Amino acid sequence: MLPVAGFGTRVLPATKSIPKEMLPVFDRPAIQYVVDEALAAGIEHIVFVTGRNKSAIEDYFDRAYELEDSLRLKGKTSLVAELEAGLRPAGSMSFVRQQGALGLGHAVWCARDVIGDEPFAVMLPDMLMMAQPSCLTQMVEAYNEVGGNLIAVEPTDTPELYGVITPESRDGRLIKMKGMVEKPKRDEAPSNLFISGRYILQPEIFDLLASQQAGAGGEIQLTDSMARLMQTQAFHALEYVGRTYDCGDKIGYLRATVAFALTNDEFGEKAAATLRAALADKG
């Protein structure tokens, strides 16, 4: 489940007419990296929770007949093949409308009828994970060991900026949780492991979200219902191997673009040379 209904206010004015999830991170929209991560983990059906003015996302994952025909007429068959490779089988994606900006918890709840009574993953699309194997693949492997509910975490020097976990015990990179704290004071943080935007949750969360009162910011917060679910179900955190890039603000978006450009198989060396030249010109 991918919540994509937000306005992207932290990267205005770029998102005034373009969904933030469609902003290019080097050579493809940010949303493509998240979908690729899901597919690499074996996810068979993806649910997008959208809002007004987000039709570009749905169009992106559909055929572009005019474009494809034009490319064929020009003999650009390799580009046609690249476009076709990104298509998913019919019926393997669903689009559900969130009709108000009521929070992440409400967005997850909107997908309840499509997801049904089975475990599911939540992937925040403005958090891009650079990892091999993919972050969600690592999580699925850990989930197969412990079951229950699982979230991805990563160390941070600024726990006061994020939600962080309260560990109970640890076995390698797998951590049994006993709580979560949202943006604690640095000297009061229970850990330096921040919740990095990937979750595997049990379907019982939907009943809790249905009765969840508004929390921080006047919105229905997913973490509030997760805390309630933690009273009856096991929660673990996985300190995954990789790095998270937060595309939700302008500098984070820049970092992500640079990182994915430098690791691109075809253009990585040219990107590095271009950046070095730009920095040299800067002085």
Top pLDDT among 163 and 93 is at: 93
pLDDT tens across 230-270, in order?
Answer: 999 999 999 999 999 988 889 999 999 999 999 999 999 99
Domain ranges of the chain: 2-264
pLDDT tens across 187-227, in order?
Answer: 888 999 999 999 999 999 999 999 888 776 777 888 889 98
CB 131 within 8 A of CB 17: no
The pTM score is: 0.90
CA distance 31 to 19: 10
Position 3 scores a pLDDT of 93
Task: State the average pLDDT over residues 7-19.
Answer: 80
| First and final C-alpha spacing in the chain | 45
Q: What is the CATH number of domain 2-264?
A: 3.90.550.10
CA distance 180 to 163: 7
